[in-house]
A = this chain, B = another copy of it.
Amino acid sequence: MAPPENTGVSNAAQAPQPSRFDPKFTQHVLDTMGPNVEPRNRQVLSAFIRHLHDFSREVELTIDEWMAGVHFVNELGRVYAESNKTRNESHRISDILGLETLVDEIAHKIISDTGSDPTSSAILGPFWSPHAPFRENGGTIIQNPNPTGRVCLMHGIISDLVTGKPIPGAVFDIWQASSNGKYDFQDPDNQTPNNLRGKFRADENGKYWFYCYHPTAYSLPRDGPSHQLLQMMDRHPMRPAHIHIMVSWSLIVSRRPALEANVAPAQVTHPEYKGCTTQLYPKDDPWLSTDTVFAVKDDLVVDFKPLQGDDKAELELDYNVILAPKDYKGKVF
């Protein structure tokens, strides 16, 4: 057998602990992997097995607890299969354990060396749609008004982390639940497809502006395995009110629409940018510090202000987005 690859696992996690259990067992399991394992798979699976074993030894996992875990995993997949793949409880469990937020941080963390920071990332969640239509700046994403919805004029500038200059033609994709806490796909009786969804293209000054709703807090489903786990952890199922946004600019995605949008070709000389998928939260939301999926970050907490002199909206949100160039590395660790 080939020598084991360097797994990249930290020494801290591998440090032998005094134990009454066989100290060679975990290495024996790892050593059964053959020579033809992809190096990345070997690294990930080895670390997973080490942590699974260390966890089990640390808590002296009982047979009943292990079996409860096996049943729980089966239950997650049963719900997915029986819901015809519309209810992904495995995804939701990974969210309530903080895993999606953590992999989002791992994928997108940038430590800036420019004095300002790019807009923080937050999880995509299950409700983004690739089919949101482009709409004109000044338009609205509210296609099916709800009488309890509070209309907001949202606007801002999309700019470059390094130069501070605006990014004309950047795409600002927004989606949100209605004021009943439901997205279009969850609420076909009240909402037509693409209600509260839209893409806007920043103008020649990097500005975007449109009408949306002040967002509404909502609960994860109050049945099923993820709710059982929340109850076991004495946790609430609430997400704070939020607006999802995905802001991007790339040659491939943007050149043709940018030209169509009458941005002069000479302006299409920017570098490409790392896209930013994130969520914005009203600063007075009661669930900010205990968001059930842990997706709140300081720079994503925003202030909705009363708006005077606009018949269409009672609130205003001014939110600027900062994108890092695609090749920007920041501080290297």
Chain A residues close to B by CB (< 8 Å): 8-10, 12-13, 15, 17-22, 25-26, 28-29, 32-38, 41, 43-45, 47-49, 51-63, 65-66, 69-71, 73-82, 88, 90-91, 94, 97-107, 109, 111, 232-235, 290, 292, 294, 333
Contact = CB atoms under 8 A, between A and B. Distances in A.
A94 B49 CA distance: 10
A110 to B, nearest CB: 10
A73 B90 contact: yes
B55 A48 contact: yes
B106 A57 contact: yes
Contact of A94 (B47, B70, B232): B70
B20 A109 contact: yes
Nearest to A66: B103
B12 A15 contact: yes
Contacts of A17: 10, 12
Chain A at the B interface: mostly helix, strand, loop or mixed?
Answer: helix
A171 B88 CA distance: 47
A88 B105 contact: no
B106 A56 contact: yes
Contacts of A49: 97-98
A70 B26 CA distance: 24
17 contacts: A8-B58, A10-B17, A10-B58, A12-B12, A13-B54, A25-B98, A28-B98, A35-B234, A37-B234, A43-B59, A44-B61, A47-B58, A51-B51, A53-B102, A56-B103, A77-B79, A77-B90
A118 to B, nearest CB: 15
B107 A294 contact: no
Contacts of A12: 12-13, 15, 17
B81 A233 contact: no
A118 B273 CA distance: 65
A18 B41 CA distance: 24
A87 to B, nearest CB: 10
Contacts of A43: 59
Nearest to A100: B66
Contact of A235 (B19, B32, B71, B294): B32
A233 B47 contact: no
Contact of A62 (B71, B101, B106): B106
A53 B98 contact: yes
A25 B293 CA distance: 12
A229 to B, nearest CB: 8
A160 to B, nearest CB: 23
A233 B34 contact: yes
A57 B290 CA distance: 22
A234 B41 CA distance: 11
Contact of A18 (B19, B32, B45, B333): B333
A32 B65 CA distance: 22
Given A59-B47, A333-B18, A77 B66 contact: no
A152 to B, nearest CB: 29
A33 B77 contact: no
Contact of A74 (B70, B80, B109): B80
